[in-house]
Structure 1
Amino acid sequence: MNILITGGAGFIGSNLALKLIDKGHKITVLDSLSPQIHGDNAEETSPLYKSIKDKVNFIKGSVTSKDDWKNAVNGQDVIVHYAAETGTGQSMYEIQKYVDVNINGTAILLDLLANQSHQVKKVIIASSRSIYGEGKYKSAEKGIVYPKHRVSEMMDKGDFEVKYPGCETKLELMATDEESKIHPSSVYGITKQNQEQMIMTVCPTLGIAPVAFRYQNVYGPGQSLKNPYTGILSIFSTQIKNGNGINIFEDGKETRDFVYIDDVVDATILGIESDKANGEVFNVGTGVATDVMKVAKTLIKNYGVEVPVTISGNYRLGDIRHNYADLTKIKSLLGFQPKYTFEQGINEFTKWVNDQEIETDNYAKSIDEMKARGLYK
């Protein structure tokens, strides 16, 4: 098939492109080569871009440009839409940029598909676990509940756990399934929800099969070590490699579902190639919750570099406490099974990081930007 990957020079997109090429597909990539991800002079220095250079039909352009979309969509059978601004914290103060790229960029695509001739048969949209906001919980008093966003008044006192009205006992964390409540707690999450809903709503009216993948925290060799706004594993790795201390937010017990890049690519290819995926929304993760303190300790151990770790009680507005994926649907419909445990994936990731040049640690700058706007406490 002829497959367009927007954001195809990015972390997930480039890995997907290479695997699809190996399977005999012809790949076109539309990517702006954002300096935040690729650094300056990306065409000469970005490892992600260089990994696909001369292997794909590369179009340097933006999803905010209708002309770039027209150029890229021509002749494609499948579109995998990854191009997006990412980062929960940054989205809370660069709101127009996130809306322009994520929502308006997707709207331009759908407008084009609705009003011009094309041969597109399927659109894959990269959604996100962020659309769920806080995860799914069980209450002794009320059964299944979906807590609202946490408030500063409680977190300022060091109470970071989620609460639900009328529940006196501690809530029990559960895996979040695709039928769980959607209530994002950040602008990024809102834009991903909007992208997903537009694709899933409009494409069927055009005779195009939509598929949405709600990715958990994706990591692995190749992810950007330059970007201080997203990717806790890369942020911590850059700090450790620079000999800088790690500041653990909240109490270090907040958890995420970390899913290895190869598993994400495999799941996505199942969605591209299987008709069983058509019209469906899937979680993609490991189904395992891993706390941030374990992340920091594992990275320090693997790198063999001792740096101070501080559990500071700081927090960012817009962050969630817990969320991990229920994989029942993707396992039963597509036969997906993650192959990498957290420990296996981290071993591969840290081996790769050890072979990279040490990047400048710009994380403090990203925190200062949030502090200035009252989003970091």
Structure 2
Amino acid sequence: MKNILITGGAGFIGSNLALKLMEKGHRITVLDNLSKQIHGEDPAFTSPLFKSIKDKVNFIHGTVTSREDWKKALENQNVIVHFAAETGTGQSMYCIEKYTEVNIQGTAIMLDILANNENSVEKIVIASSRSIYGEGKYKHPTKGIVYPSHRKEQNMLAGNFELTYEDEAILELMATDENSKIHPSSVYGITKQNQEQMIMTVCPTLGISPVAFRYQNVYGPGQSLSNPYTGILSIFSTQIRNNNPIQIFEDGKETRDFVFIDDVVDATILGIEKEAANGQVFNVGTGVATDVLEVANSLILAYDINVPVTVTGRFRLGDIRHNYADLTKIKSLLGFEPKVYFKEGIEKFSNWVLKQAIQEDHLGKSLEEMQKKGLLK
């Protein structure tokens, strides 16, 4: 039985992890700022995630940018699971100082305290992201494995969204493994790369075991249905239930690896409990690429609400085209196997959504912000 601190532990992944770890007998402390964007104006009433852990964990209402909050939260902890972060690629491109302060400086404060004060921390698990891979791994017809640079705006304006190499050769998408090139295409991705590298570099010098999980697109019951900045399944669900049309970026064939919340929690617990995880970086996903059009059509079918779907050809600067995980490493070292694939996961997710109150659709506001900043084309 361990004392485990989960930063951002009132969030989607953190709260689910906290509940599962408590079932296993661990003592949980949560440090969370209860962001209005995620939890609403009055989290005790408006946040099912916070309510699910309230009065069950040692809860500290604070922020990772506060040294005093960190000192309070770190007391007597054996394991830290560091989830607290500003998330979302689009918003990161114009909230640069905020993303950097929370994600990078917040992590730096934690490590600085641990490096300069006695503590009982044995392991730190950091939530990294598939976004650090940028455009990911491809096969060139003659050059073999390549890692193409970010897509050019002029190509996308012309409707050419797929990745090509320097010689304009057509590339074949491959699963991204942990040894793939790290070259993020958004401020969010840069901050996650920085977090991961700080944890993996500093912790061994302190006698603390580091573990990094590069999560793919996490979804499932409990995720915020009102946050218009991140979570394509929740964004589409809220649009559909408001009978609003769905506008698809690019040509709708862009893909992501959608991984169910229960699998993410299980993988994270393996990282906490298994010594084989120590010092390692792991992908967490399903290893399956699903395109955005399939997501939209699957949700329309699940809710039986026939809203129009328009493929707009518009795009956001900082978005990647494709990414799906190679799971060879996490399967062999930790014995992880995803149990819930997209078809079953969509059913579980949509059944939960239908039991929730219909949220106001704020997507238009978020897109307007991006357009004003010149990031939505």
Fold shared by both chains (TM-score > 0.5): yes
Structure 1 distance, partners of 2:42, 2:342, is: 34
Matches within 5 A, 1:165-180: 165-168=166-169, 170-180=170-180
Q: Distance in 1 between matches of 2:162 and 2:173?
A: 11
Maintained 8 Å contact 1:14/1:52? yes
Query: Hey, what does 1:302 align to over in structure 2?
Result: 302
Give me the whole-angstrom Cα distance separating, in 1, the residues matched to 2:173 and 2:87.
26
After superposition, what is the alpha-carbon deviation per residue over 1:88-142, rounded to whole angstroms, capped at 9, x for unaligned? 0000000000000000000000000000111000000000000000010001121
Which residue does the alignment assign to 1:313? 313
Is 1:273–2:273 an aligned residue pair? yes
Counterpart position of 1:240: 240
User: For residue 255 of structure 1, what is the aligned residue in structure 2?
Assistant: 255
In 2, Cα distance between equivalents of 1:295 and 1:118: 46
- Report the TM-score, using the length of structure 1 for normalisation: 0.99
CA distance in 2, matches of 1:270, 1:155: 41
Distance 2:27 2:49 in 1: 18
Deviation track 1:179-235 (CA, whole Å, cap 9, x = no partner) reads 000000000000000000000000000000000000000000000011100000000
In structure 1, what is the Cα distance between the partners aligned to 2:182 and 2:219?
24
SS at match of 1:321: coil
Provide the C-alpha distance between the structure 2 equivalents of 1:330 and 1:15, rounded to a whole number of angstroms. Answer: 21
Residue-by-residue CA offset, 1:39-81 (whole Å, 9 max, x unaligned): 1111232100000011100000000000000000001000000
Letter of the structure 2 residue corresponding to residue 366 of structure 1 = S
* SS in structure 2 of the partner of residue 368 of structure 1: helix
Q: Which residue of 1 aligns with 2:99?
A: 98
- Separation of aligned partners in 1, 2:270 and 2:281: 13
Aligned AA (2:312):
S
What is the aligned partner in structure 2 of residue 219 from structure 1? 219
Greater Cα offset, 35-44 or 275-284:
35-44
1:311-339 deviation line (CA, Å, top 9, x unaligned): 00010000000000000000000000000
Q: Which amino acid aligns with 1:350?
A: S
Whole-Å Cα distance in 2 between the matches of residues 38 and 65 of structure 1?
Answer: 20
Residue identity over aligned pairs, in percent, reads: 73
- Equivalent residue letter for 1:166: D
* Residues in 1 aligned to 2:168 and 2:62: alpha-carbon distance in whole angstroms: 51
The number of residue pairs the alignment matches comes to 376
Look up the match of 2:182: 182
> What is the aligned partner in structure 2 of residue 121 from structure 1?
122
Q: Which residue of 1 aligns with 2:364?
A: 364
Match of residue 323 from structure 2: 323
- List runs of 5+ in structure 2 lacking aligned partners: none
Answer whether contact 1:140 1:167 (CA < 8 A) is retained: no
Letter in 1 for 2:42: N
Q: Deviations over 1:141-169 (max 9, x none)?
A: 2100001000110000000011111253x
CA–CA separation in structure 2 for the residues paired with 1:324 and 1:79: 27
Find the aligned partners of 1:106 and 1:196 in 2 and give their Cα distance: 9
Deviations 1:263-315 (A, max 9, x none): 00000000000000000000000000000000000000000001000000010
Q: Indicate the SS of the match to 1:28.
A: strand
Within 5 Å, which residues of 2 pair with 1:193-212? Answer: 193-212=193-212
RMSD: 0.5
Q: State whether residues 141 and 167 of structure 1, in contact with CA within 8 Å, keep that contact through their aligned partners in structure 2.
A: no
Instruction: Compute the displacement of 1:256 (Å).
Output: 0.1
Other-structure match for 2:336: 336
Counterpart Cα distance in 2 of 1:274 and 1:165? 43
Alpha carbons 1:121, 1:208 under 8 Å: kept: yes
Q: Secondary structure at the match of 2:29?
A: strand
Aligned partner of residue 4 in structure 2, secondary structure: strand
| Partners of 1:197 and 1:226 in 2: CA distance | 32
Secondary structure, counterpart of 1:79 in structure 2: strand
Which amino acid is the alignment partner of residue 175 of structure 2? A
| C-alpha distance in 2 between matches for 1:238 and 1:149 | 30
1:346 paired residue number: 346
Q: What residue number does 2:70 align with?
A: 69
Counterpart of 2:164 in structure 1 is 163
Question: In structure 1, how many angstroms separate the alpha carbons of the residues matched to 2:168 and 2:86?
Answer: 37
- What corresponds to 1:17 in structure 2? 18
Runs of 4+ in 1 over 4 A off after TM superposition: none
Equivalent residue number for residue 6 of structure 1: 7
Hey, what does 1:284 align to over in structure 2? 284
